[in-house]
């Protein structure tokens, strides 16, 4: 029960990785506030459905979580969107969506959450970046840029807020078997299951990550076992690095 009595905000809690993070945290004693556009079917201790593109919603999430759960110890900025293609195929709407969800929302949530955590002696924040935020992959220019931005923000916040007892780190996965990955195959006309099996052959460990493979590392960074880690970007890639 590593998270007994801990009060946690998880964004993207209805998504592939977010659902598993939420379930694992609660199984280890945490009380979790789930945030997503639609939280139907998500078992949590508080639910705040909304759109992270709305500034007031993102700004308020840490506050309403602390009010609902009696404090705030951990934030998992997990929500994310992917846009595909080079910049010449990137629309204004893609820009607004990707920068808004992947960068601006976690910025707003951290800005509001850090003072709450500092006032009660500290806490931990884990951001979901991507290995493509460390080294960019092809044909996903905007996605890679936003993930590099959240990775950089994580490193900055990691050293800026360590003195307040707040540890801020990021997990950087390679491909994970979630709706985000499957929808990309569907849009390109592939059968998602066989495409994921083929993709698994390109991973030295022999398979694409399952959501739990990533959630385990998120929980580690949020736990006291990672008590000396601040501003780290942890790649979780099955041996498949992007260079
Ligand atoms: P997912 O699409 O299954 O889940 C993402 C969740 O974010 C969804 O439930 C969605 O509703 C929520 N979300 C998106 N836009 C929102 C908005 N405007 N307001 C509120 N909620 C919103 O994706 P996932 O694979 O579970 O991704 C989780 C995180 O992991 C993301 O940050 C993603 O970029 C990152 N990641 C995923 C992969 C992968 O291959 N799946 C690889 C590297 C990093």
| 51: DSSP letter | -
Alpha-carbon torsion angle 38, 32, 216, 144, nearest 10: 50
179 Cβ closer than 6 Å to some ligand 1 atom: yes
Nearest CA-CA partner of 236 in 53, 11, 17? 17
Cα of 224 vs centre of ligand 1, distance in Å, is 26
CA 29, chain centre distance (Å): 20
Cα of 101 vs centre of ligand 1, distance in Å, is 9
Q: Does the reported pTM lie above 0.95?
A: yes
Minimum-distance ligand 1 atom for the alpha carbon of 82:
34
Q: Residue ranges per domain, the chain? A: 7-174+211-236, 176-208
235 Cβ closer than 6 Å to some ligand 1 atom: no
ipTM: 0.99
Report pLDDT digits (tens) over 170-211.
Answer: 999 999 999 999 999 998 899 999 999 999 999 999 999 999
Alpha carbon separation from 39 to 46, 154, 206, 208 (Å, rounded): 10, 26, 33, 26
Report pLDDT digits (tens) over 13-48.
Answer: 999 999 999 999 999 999 999 999 999 999 999 999
Cα of 108 vs centre of ligand 1, distance in Å, is 17
Report pLDDT digits (tens) over 73-99.
Answer: 999 999 999 999 999 999 999 999 999
133 Cβ closer than 6 Å to some ligand 1 atom: no
Residue 143 designated active-site: yes
**Rounded CA gap, 132 and 10, in Å?**
22
Nearest CA-CA partner of 129 in 242, 2, 3? 242
The yes/no answer on whether domain 7-174+211-236 falls in CATH 3.40.50.720 is: yes
């Amino acid at each position: 029960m590593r998270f007994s009595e801990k009060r946690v905000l998880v964004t993207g809690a209805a998504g592939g990785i977010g659902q598993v993070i939420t379930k694992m945290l609660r199984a280890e004693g945490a009380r979790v506030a789930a945030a997503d556009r639609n939280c139907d079917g998500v078992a949590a201790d508080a639910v705040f459905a909304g759109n992270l593109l709305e500034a007031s919603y993102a700004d308020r999430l840490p506050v309403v979580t602390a009010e609902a759960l009696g404090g705030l110890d951990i934030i998992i900025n997990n929500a994310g969107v992917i846009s595909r293609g080079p910049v010449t195929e990137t629309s204004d709407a893609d820009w607004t969506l990707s920068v808004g969800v992947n960068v601006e929302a976690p910025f707003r949530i951290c800005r509001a959450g850090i003072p709450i955590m500092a006032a009660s002696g500290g806490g931990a924040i884990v951001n979901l970046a991507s290995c493509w935020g460390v080294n960019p992959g092809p044909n996903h220019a905007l996605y890679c840029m936003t993930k590099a931005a959240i990775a950089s923000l994580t490193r900055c916040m990691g050293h800026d807020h360590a003195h307040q007892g707040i540890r801020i780190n990021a997990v950087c996965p390679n491909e994970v078997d979630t709706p985000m990955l499957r929808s990309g195959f569907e849009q390109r006309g592939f059968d998602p299951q066989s495409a994921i099996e083929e993709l698994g052959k390109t991973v030295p460990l022999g398979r694409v990550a399952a959501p739990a493979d990533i959630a385990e590392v998120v929980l580690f960074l949020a736990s006291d076992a990672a008590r000396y880690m601040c501003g780290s970007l942890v790649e979780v890639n099955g041996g498949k690095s992007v260079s």
